[in-house]
């Protein structure tokens, strides 16, 4: 694989991982509402889901191209519905008082990633466009998808850190911020359906 191809792959991965998507937005909202320690289960779910999805993408690219289109078609609608559900809950959420805090769930973060069509397209496109022309063994495809998931995890951690830094501002302006985040999620859902 040429240096040019690796650089192009890394640029593509960085841009896609750090742009707002359902996982990053949910992580940001969770840390502002629950804090790091109460949101850790959800964050671990998001990270785990990211790795699982990228391994699924590697397997699809490797040999299941015929199955890919019907699965992605169904995932698109399931993902959009779940993201709209999350956007509603974000829009109506408010900062939680420390005495009433509960932990966010691993399952919620994990399921979000399983239906997050953005990261499926991201993984499949990265492999198809930047890796398969040079390397096509299952081991290499999985390696590159693990790189993608690691960069995605770092991106989500960045969003979590930003949420921690802006928590006081969030508590003062949570209505406006939650509406903006909910609208961004709805935009994610509609872009999945109509792209």
Q: Hey, is 193 helix, strand or coil?
A: helix
Residue 11 burial (C-beta neighbours within 10 Å; 0-12, 13-18, 19+) = exposed
This prediction has a pTM of 0.68
Low-confidence ranges of the chain (pLDDT < 70): 64-73, 75-76, 79, 94-103, 188, 191-192, 195
Q: What is the pLDDT of residues 78-109, one digit of tens each?
A: 767 777 777 787 777 766 665 455 667 788 88
The one-character DSSP state at 96 is P
Helix (H, G, I), strand (E, B) or coil at 45: helix
Cα–Cα–Cα angle for 124, 88, 125, nearest 5°? 5
- Residue 158 · residue 18 · CB < 8 Å: yes
pLDDT at 150: 93
């Amino acid at each position: 694989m040429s240096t040019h191809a690796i650089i192009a792959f890394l640029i593509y991965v960085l841009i896609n991982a750090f742009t707002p998507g359902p996982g990053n937005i949910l992580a940001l909202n969770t840390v502002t509402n629950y804090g790091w320690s109460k949101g850790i289960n959800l964050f671990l779910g998001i990270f785990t889901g990211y790795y699982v999805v990228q391994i699924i993408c590697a397997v699809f690219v490797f040999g299941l191209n015929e199955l890919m289109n019907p699965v992605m078609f169904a995932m698109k609608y399931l993902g959009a519905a779940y993201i709209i559900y999350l956007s509603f809950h974000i829009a109506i959420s408010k900062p939680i008082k420390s005495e009433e805090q509960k932990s966010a769930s691993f399952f919620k973060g994990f399921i979000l990633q399983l239906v997050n069509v953005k990261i499926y397209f991201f993984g499949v496109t990265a492999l198809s466009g930047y890796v398969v022309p040079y390397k096509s063994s299952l081991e290499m495809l999985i390696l590159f998808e693990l790189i993608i998931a690691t960069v995605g995890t770092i991106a989500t951690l960045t969003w979590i850190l930003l949420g921690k830094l802006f928590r006081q501002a969030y508590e003062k302006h949570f209505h406006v911020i939650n509406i903006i985040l909910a609208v961004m999620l709805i935009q994610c859902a509609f872009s999945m359906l109509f792209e």
